[in-house]
């Protein structure tokens, strides 16, 4: 979730129709913390490579999920988990009639019961930022990809957060089951992308 992510979409043109619908719902619900458009474009691109199942934590009002669904091929299913009941209801309404998308109200750990994912986006739990990190060996399909967003780019090693080593980012970059790297999406935004070895 990104501060002012919803509003930052206003300057982008040619948004997918489903993303526009989710943005309207987020604005109507007063939810400003949607993923940023730079992140959305990355999610859309990565979703094109998924063959079976895409998962997401932190649905919010569905903007990131809309980017994912806009990139997913026919037959790919998407499951997103949101712990806030009101936001989950807003997102479910956005995707009413989109059969390949399921919005679940619950804790991010609900994804452990949903299968193994070709693409897993950790935005609302499971990142290791103040909570226990998700286990990619239990959640990813063979060769699956995990995406952990909302990092501030760092030019040092180890990467720092508030002057100390960024343990959440290091967890993913150094995870023995992943081949991972950090992608800078904007001057103030980076994302870690890892693939199960």
Instruction: Output the pLDDT for position 161.
Output: 86
6-15, 19-28, 124-133, 147-156: range with lowest mean pLDDT: 6-15
Instruction: At 139, list the tokens.
Output: 């959640």
CA separation for the pair 91, 93 (Å, rounded): 5
Q: What is the CATH number of the domain that holds 34?
A: 3.40.50.150
pLDDT in tens, 6-25: 888 887 778 999 999 999 99
Instruction: Look at the chain and report how many structural domains it folds into.
Output: 1
Backbone CA torsion sign across 137, 138, 141, 147: negative
Q: Residues 65, 59: contact at Cβ < 8 Å?
A: yes
pLDDT score for 3: 58
Q: How confident is the model at residue 195 (pLDDT cuts 50, 70, 90)?
A: very high
Strands 140-151 and 189-196: antiparallel
In 3-state terms, what secondary structure has residue 118?
A: strand
The partner residues of 186 in beta bridges, in order of sequence, read 189
Mean pLDDT of 118-143: 94
Return d(Cα 36, Cα 103) in angstroms, integer: 20
Residues 6 or more apart whose CB falls under 8 angstroms from that of 92 comprise 103
Q: Calculate the average pLDDT of the chain.
A: 94
Domain that holds residue 18: 5-196
Q: Do residues 91 and 62 touch, judged by C-beta distance below 8 A?
A: yes
**121: helix, coil or strand?**
strand
């Amino acid at each position: 979730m990104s501060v002012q992510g919803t509003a930052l979409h206003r300057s982008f043109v040619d948004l997918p129709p489903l993303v526009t619908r989710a943005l309207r719902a987020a604005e109507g619900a007063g939810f400003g913390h949607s993923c940023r458009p730079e992140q959305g474009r990355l999610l859309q691109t990565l979703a094109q490579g998924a063959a079976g199942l895409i998962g997401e934590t932190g649905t919010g009002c569905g903007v990131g999920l809309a980017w994912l669904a806009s990139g997913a091929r026919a037959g790919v299913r998407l499951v997103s988990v949101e712990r806030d009941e009101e936001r989950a209801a807003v997102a479910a309404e956005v995707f009413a009639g989109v059969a390949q998308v399921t919005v679940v109200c619950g804790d991010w750990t609900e994804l452990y019961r949903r299968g193994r994912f070709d693409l897993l986006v950790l935005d609302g739990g499971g990142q290791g930022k103040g909570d226990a990190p998700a286990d990619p060996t239990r959640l990813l399909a063979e060769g699956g990809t995990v995406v952990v967003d909302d990092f501030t780019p760092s030019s040092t090693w180890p990467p720092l957060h508030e002057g100390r080593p960024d343990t959440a980012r290091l967890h993913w970059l150094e995870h023995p089951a992943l081949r991972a790297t950090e992608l800078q999406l904007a001057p103030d935004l980076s994302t870690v992308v890892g693939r199960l070895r």
